[in-house]
A and B are shown apart, each in its own frame.
Chain A
Amino acid sequence: MRAAQLGWMSAAAFLALTIARADEPSESAAELKKLSVEELMGLEVTSVSKRPEKLAATASAIQVITHDEIQESGAQSLPEALRLADNLQLAQKNSHDWAISARGFNTSLSNKLLVLVDGRSVYTPLYSGVFWNAQDYPLADLDRIEVISGPGSTLWGANAVNGVINITTKSASNTQGLYLEGGGGSHWQDFGTVRYGGMLAPNVYFRIYGKYFEGDAEVLAGGERAHDAWRQGRGGFRIDAQRSSDDTLTLQGDLYGGSGDHTATGELRFSGGNILGRWSHTLTQDSDMSLQTYFDRTHISLPTAAMAFAPAGVIADDLNTYDVDFQHHLRMGERHRVVWGLGYRLTHDVVSNALSLSFFPPTLTQNLFSGFVQDEVMLRPEVFFTAGTKLEHNDYTGYEVEPSVRLLWIPALNQTLWSAVSRAVRTPSRIDHDLAEPAPSTGLVLLQGGSGFKSETVVAYELGYRAQVSTKLATSLSTFYNRYDHVRSTAPSPEPTIPGLPFPLVFQNDLEGHTYGLELSTDYQLLPAWRLHAGYTLLKEDLHVKAGRFDFSDAHNETADPQQQFSLRSALDLGRNLDVSTALRWVDTLHINNAAVVGIVPSYFELNARLGWHPTPKIELSVVGENLLHAQHPEYGFPDPSRVEIRRSLFGRIQCQF
């Protein structure tokens, strides 16, 4: 646990530094006027994106990963970019699968995190998780990734239980011209992106892109090659039109396909596409609205392993989603700012069952209706109180209410203290309700969805502090205490198929418990050319079986999280058009279970590094090393011979913008 102590100490040191420097004056016009034109251009300014500086005054645990941070990190995939958020638990399972969650519950069926790409939900209602291997985008065209830990359900609804990831791509007006990227190496064997952006008419911009990559296989503990090499190709477009200063229109779409080796013979296949339109309109100076609609189609087919009474097979899922979402925000009088909205989503899911894994009914159409309203009241010029609720209706559990109250206090310039209490629910997914493993036709179902499965609930209490101490130093601390109820458990059916045997096991809601912890993150501009970042996360989880009830996994199966983790990052401009960035991370021991049998992934240190050279402002050549400290290390999985470990890897990359 020495690493853990180091984590605490660095956290304390950063806090001390924060307090010690709290009196440093901020930049004034007089100081700015002394700077040369070049120096002015070198300044990083807040809210250049024409969006308000949101971090300082948001009453939630939000972290923002910027376009530049992603580029500097050398990230080549979305999960790699998400490693830059301190408030996530993230583990790479194998070459093409990741477990990603916020505030815990990061099991292989983790289901408490909502992920949106440009406002389009990408989690699957099959198990309320995300097929990360099917999500990607040219990272150079990402504007930012917002990672909010804690419930976001009042705004986003069910599934935003423990957090929300909001991936935003750039407006087409900011991706003009030709962009080329290519490279290759040991894990990322070869990859390439082509993007072209142009103008269709005055104030109407477009871009089109294509991206392809191949990821090589990782290894097993003994060093043998795992069967998990994969590849993906995708293409898409985005059109942004500003018809007047009051109207913005966006139309965008993507198509993708890929495959990954799953076993020696079986292959995971995924493909899909989406199209989205959004209209934002300013009604008056005090009110604006937006209307968004999208269609999304995903296909996934996955080899399933043989079970006692069922041969190996392939399960396939075809999901069509139709979604429409309306929002209106308005100022009422001097003190009130109100936002309300309505949404409707229709999902049509068709599972092609395998004998070893099946869903009943195989075809299911579901409706989700939602509405929300939230009012922010200015109690005093520096105190803001926000109250709101979401009301949803889903086909499994009917009405769900997800209220929250938030208080924001700005005790001094550049400092924010916030607090929130929210209730969120995770509504049942198909796996909770409709699963049969193996299929009933085999004669013995071992694991079965619960027809009476209820929503899991959480009440979250949060307290946070944020300070922009000076132009050089910013820090943020979020703490939380979450109470969970009706969390998923498994219990023997009261009507066993074969008398005397506990099967089928049926999903129930018999776990409860609490979690608490903190997330600390600090940025420090040590020199104009040297930026440092430190992050630390503490997570304590205590789930137990409700009195008088039973769980086959003894409450061990819904969590798989490190208790602590920390990261240290540095981005240094070396001059001569060279820059180097490094990211060190430490992840605590992870307890991961196979039913009630406890397994362990050892704690580890790992290091990523990137060296970039810009021979001209339009060209960057870089060398990126990932997981440099060990030849191979596991991040996830029950310790058995089939557990995949992640190799050290290296690649070179060239990026040109014309």
Chain B
Amino acid sequence: MSVLRALVLVWLAGVAPALAAGPTEYQVKAVFLFNFAQFVVWPPQALGAADAPFSICIVGEDPFGAELDVTVRGENVQGHPFAVRRYRDPGDIESACHIVFIGASQLTQLEKIVKSLGDRAILTVSDIDHSAERGTMIQFASEHNRLRLRINVAAAKAAGLTISSKLLRPSQIIGAEAG
């Protein structure tokens, strides 16, 4: 009898984003993605030419709405302007991505996506439960309505990415090897 939940969902689907007064979950996650670009070091060749964009790619359904675009608008990483790209199908992900965000819609596809990216210098981020154990480099977890990071350092290292201690210190480190 989860009628209430069902009903409230029905009530809210269209209204909730407009009402949220405090930061919403994906507002904060968008800011985290922006911060990852500052606190992770990519190999120089991965960033490409001086004016090449720094791409954050969202796979599957986009839970951010406009939040991510608003967050990175006018910002840059070492002179590379941000770009946000969206891919319905994981098969379409291009090598131009620097961060790949794997949302809840890709629950069953997670391992496949991580595997397809191989050891390329792409930071994988997901909010699927236990995705850090399943090979994702950074996982968003929630604890008491606050966001926590779970970081699979070995997976990042295998891709040639260095994660700053500023990010590692407050986060939970997961030991699993890259999947």
Residues of A within 8 A of B (CB): 26-27, 29, 32-33, 35-38, 40-54, 56-59, 66-68, 116, 119-121, 146, 148, 152, 155-156, 164, 166, 173-174, 176, 199, 202-203, 205, 242, 244-245, 278, 280, 290, 292, 325, 327, 329, 331, 337-339, 341, 343, 374, 376, 378, 381, 384, 386, 408, 410, 413-414, 416, 468-471, 474
How far does the alpha carbon of A155 sit from the alpha carbon of B144 in the complex, in Å? 29
B35 touches A40 (CB 8 A): yes
B24 touches A54 (CB 8 A): no
How far does the alpha carbon of A339 sit from the alpha carbon of B149 in the complex, in Å? 37
Known contacts A41-B149, A43-B147; can you find 16 more A-B pairs with CB under 8 A? A37-B32, A37-B149, A40-B32, A46-B22, A47-B20, A56-B19, A56-B20, A67-B144, A203-B129, A242-B107, A292-B1, A329-B10, A376-B10, A378-B14, A384-B11, A410-B18
Contact of A173 among B1, B27, B129, B167 (CB under 8 A): B129
Q: In the complex, what's the smallest C-beta–C-beta distance from B159 to chain A, in angstroms?
A: 21
B31 touches A416 (CB 8 A): no
Contacts of B104 in A (CB 8 A): 50, 245
17 A-B pairs (CB sep. < 8 Å): A29-B30, A36-B166, A37-B35, A41-B148, A46-B21, A47-B16, A48-B142, A68-B144, A121-B1, A203-B107, A203-B129, A205-B129, A245-B105, A410-B15, A410-B18, A416-B19, A471-B22
How far does the alpha carbon of A32 sit from the alpha carbon of B142 in the complex, in Å? 18
Given A33-B71, A41-B147, decide whether A329 and B23 contact each other with a Cβ distance below 8 A. no
B20 touches A57 (CB 8 A): no
B residues 1-45 near A (Cβ < 8 Å) are 1-16, 18-25, 27-28, 30-32, 34-35, 39
Contacts of A35 in B (CB 8 A): 31
Q: In the complex, what's the smallest C-beta–C-beta distance from B160 to chain A, in angstroms?
A: 22
B1 touches A37 (CB 8 A): no
| B157 on the A face (CB < 8 A) | no
Contacts of A36 in B (CB 8 A): 166
Given A40-B147, A376-B11, A413-B18, decide whether A49 and B142 contact each other with a Cβ distance below 8 A. yes
B22 touches A45 (CB 8 A): yes
Contacts of A384 in B (CB 8 A): 11, 15
Contacts of B19 in A (CB 8 A): 53, 56-57, 410, 413-414, 416, 468
Contact of B2 among A26, A48, A278 (CB under 8 A): A278
B11 touches A199 (CB 8 A): no
Given A41-B170, A48-B147, A329-B6, decide whether A57 and B71 contact each other with a Cβ distance below 8 A. no
| B158 on the A face (CB < 8 A) | no
Contacts of A176 in B (CB 8 A): 130
Closest to A408 in B: B11
Provide the main secondary structure of the chain B interface.
helix
Given A27-B23, A57-B15, A337-B11, decide whether A45 and B146 contact each other with a Cβ distance below 8 A. yes
| B67 on the A face (CB < 8 A) | yes
Q: In the complex, what's the smallest C-beta–C-beta distance from B31 to chain A, in angstroms?
A: 4
Contacts of B27 in A (CB 8 A): 27, 29, 32, 45
Closest to B71 in A: A29
Given A40-B31, A47-B25, A48-B146, decide whether A56 and B1 contact each other with a Cβ distance below 8 A. no
B23 touches A58 (CB 8 A): no
B16 touches A57 (CB 8 A): yes
| B52 on the A face (CB < 8 A) | no
B23 touches A156 (CB 8 A): no
Contact of A414 among B21, B71, B147, B149 (CB under 8 A): B21
Contact of B4 among A146, A174, A280, A338 (CB under 8 A): A146
A156 touches B10 (CB 8 A): no
| B77 on the A face (CB < 8 A) | no
Given A41-B149, A155-B7, decide whether A52 and B16 contact each other with a Cβ distance below 8 A. yes
Contacts of B4 in A (CB 8 A): 146, 148, 152, 155, 164, 166
B1 touches A374 (CB 8 A): no
Q: In the complex, what's the smallest C-beta–C-beta distance from B164 to chain A, in angstroms?
A: 9
Q: In the complex, what's the smallest C-beta–C-beta distance from B138 to chain A, in angstroms?
A: 12
Contacts of B23 in A (CB 8 A): 27, 32, 43, 45-46, 471
Closest to A114 in B: B1
Q: In the complex, what's the smallest C-beta–C-beta distance from B146 to chain A, in angstroms?
A: 6
B1 touches A244 (CB 8 A): no
Q: In the complex, what's the smallest C-beta–C-beta distance from B173 to chain A, in angstroms?
A: 14
A46 touches B25 (CB 8 A): yes
Closest to A280 in B: B2
How far does the alpha carbon of A292 sit from the alpha carbon of B35 in the complex, in Å? 43
Contacts of B134 in A (CB 8 A): 202
Contacts of A341 in B (CB 8 A): 3
B21 touches A470 (CB 8 A): yes
A244 touches B107 (CB 8 A): yes
A386 touches B11 (CB 8 A): yes
Q: What 1/0 flags go to B129-143 for Cβ under 8 Å of A?
A: 110001000000010
B residues 63-90 near A (Cβ < 8 Å) are 67, 70-71
B3 touches A339 (CB 8 A): yes
B167 touches A48 (CB 8 A): no
Q: In the complex, what's the smallest C-beta–C-beta distance from A342 to chain B, in angstroms?
A: 12
Closest to A146 in B: B4
Q: In the complex, what's the smallest C-beta–C-beta distance from A58 to chain B, in angstroms?
A: 6
Given A29-B31, A339-B10, A410-B15, decide whether A244 and B108 contact each other with a Cβ distance below 8 A. yes
B30 touches A59 (CB 8 A): no
Closest to A49 in B: B142
Contacts of A119 in B (CB 8 A): 1-2
Contacts of A325 in B (CB 8 A): 1
Given A41-B149, A53-B12, decide whether A116 and B170 contact each other with a Cβ distance below 8 A. no
Contacts of A56 in B (CB 8 A): 15-16, 19-21
Contacts of B39 in A (CB 8 A): 37
Contacts of B71 in A (CB 8 A): 29, 32-33
How far does the alpha carbon of A331 sit from the alpha carbon of B14 in the complex, in Å? 11
How far does the alpha carbon of A410 sit from the alpha carbon of B28 in the complex, in Å? 25
B24 touches A47 (CB 8 A): yes
How far does the alpha carbon of A329 sit from the alpha carbon of B5 in the complex, in Å? 11
Residue among A33, A53, A119, A384 with most chain B CB within 10 A: A53
How far does the alpha carbon of A290 sit from the alpha carbon of B7 in the complex, in Å? 12
Q: In the complex, what's the smallest C-beta–C-beta distance from A533 to chain B, in angstroms?
A: 15
B145 touches A52 (CB 8 A): no
Q: In the complex, what's the smallest C-beta–C-beta distance from B67 to chain A, in angstroms?
A: 7
A68 touches B108 (CB 8 A): no
Given A51-B5, A52-B16, decide whether A57 and B11 contact each other with a Cβ distance below 8 A. yes
Which 10 A-B residue pairings sit nearest by Cβ, starting from the closest?
A468-B21, A48-B142, A119-B1, A337-B10, A56-B19, A54-B8, A471-B22, A52-B12, A52-B16, A155-B3
A468 touches B22 (CB 8 A): yes
Given A37-B35, A46-B22, A327-B3, decide whether A58 and B147 contact each other with a Cβ distance below 8 A. no
Contact of B6 among A53, A245, A290, A468 (CB under 8 A): A290
B20 touches A53 (CB 8 A): yes
Contact of A45 among B7, B106, B145 (CB under 8 A): B145
Given A156-B1, A374-B7, A471-B23, decide whether A45 and B28 contact each other with a Cβ distance below 8 A. yes
Q: In the complex, what's the smallest C-beta–C-beta distance from B16 to chain A, in angstroms?
A: 4
Given A44-B145, A53-B20, decide whether A33 and B2 contact each other with a Cβ distance below 8 A. no
Residue among B3, B27, B67, B70 with most chain A CB within 10 A: B3
How far does the alpha carbon of A148 sit from the alpha carbon of B108 in the complex, in Å? 36
Q: In the complex, what's the smallest C-beta–C-beta distance from B28 to chain A, in angstroms?
A: 5
Contacts of A59 in B (CB 8 A): 11
